[in-house]
Chain A
Amino acid sequence: MNVKKADLVIIGGGPAGMAAAIEASKNGIRDILILERENNLGGILHQCIHNGFGLHYFGEELTGPEYAWRFIDEVHARNISYYVETTVINFGPDKTITAINSQEGLFIIKPRAVVLAMGCRERTRGALNIPGTRPAGIYTAGLAQKFVNMEGFMPGKSVVILGSGDIGLIMARRMFLEGAQVKMVCELMPYSGGLNRNIVQCLEDFDIPLRLKHTVVAIHGKERLEGVTIAQVDEHRKPIMETCETVTCDTLLLSVGLIPENELTREAGIIVDRRTSGPVVNDCMETSMEGVFACGNVVHVHDLVDYVSREGARAGECAAAYITAEGDKAEGGEIQITAGKCVRYTVPQKIVPKGQKNIRLFFRVTDIFRKVKIVVKANGETVFERKRNKVTPGEMESLEIPGSILNSPTNVNELLVEVQNIEEGQ
């Protein structure tokens, strides 16, 4: 068997993986190998040709490919090795990675540390159980985006989009600009899952209707899609059949959620959080397996690539520290972070206390709330709070908690994050 050596292997060469590799390199790790399934580094960014990337990370507005090239150029400048068109087929409990490509054949690597950065994939029609025939013309929004933006062809002429997440909204605009008739965007929930700015600049700018509380209940057409039946849904998200209407279209794009791609993670026996579908991580982005770190959309689905890059850098920095100080493990228990009232999940899910400065916490809320405060409690006592005018499940919230609250004299063993109303007049 072809055996390779590396100190740090990064699975996935998208924004998370590249940020991790660069940061590990900055922290003195020389022997890094990125394994990438596609034929170039950059991941999904290459097909996200719209702008709006990089405002947080670089302080300027970039398109997806421009953002990707900033990192690709740095990977090259730092002489970080990578294999493209390489698939990891097994990740063992002892950190052994089995991978394959057409140049090297089958090979194994047993690195000292691993960063998981496999990203996520789209939910498909099969996950929704929409009844009807199975004609051509039904695509996930991301696949259609690849067709239009990278292959240069249009998947259809008249389009209905199901799901108002950001990819759905971006594709509504893209298809419209390329001459398609975009009939409507249907959203099951009473609110859009996308950013407000995308509702404005992708739908309102082009008078594309957004039908909230609507879903597709039937698909028509034999060879090619001929139309869909849509219906309003009640408060339990069940279709109200009296409200059915048929919309003719030759294309249905699905933007109905993303699933972190954690087959390798599960195979290795790493603990996966059911709420995020990603590995449970601590504030070092380390998973339940020692020396295995994770970052980006494989941990939880992000709205902004800027946050992915920041998380990737954190994982890379901590993987480097792990390699440099191998055997020198931090002592002391872990602090659990609990998602309290109106909070669906937090990332990280736990903290290893060792004199941290600040801890960046990401979380999502369960519903839309206005005029609230985000409260952090340590052992039941409020230790930190921040006001928010509006929080929505579609927008990931982030908090920077001062490390000092962990270094208090009393031993903290649980942090609870919850949303509280701000009483009138206060």
Chain B
Amino acid sequence: MDVSLLLIRPAAPEPIYRQIVGQLRRMIASGQLPPGEPLPSVREVAGVHAINPMTVSRAYSLLEAEGVLERLRGKGMAVAATHRRVQSEDKRMQLIEPHLRELARQARELELSPEPVLRRLGDLLEDEE
């Protein structure tokens, strides 16, 4: 995996370790990172993004505990081989849940009725295909 695929936004309210966890999860869930794919070392991520190495290792440890990543003997981290390539729809929905909630909150604040929002979301989803 290329280190620069990670996008770190220090000023975001979300802690950096959560940003890393979220992005890796999504990349693995989508199959962008196949099982067995080695991950960049903590030092490499910390150096390229000028972030604290402890933050990176915290993210890795969390994903390791979840079984998403596994520690290779002497070779650092890799995407867990046992991990199903594509997760169940439920699991994947869980990953996107916080973003949907935030979207819903903003739509309510703008006093938009659900229909146009859902229609636009549908358009966007189809555009991507």
Q: Do A and B come from one complex?
A: no
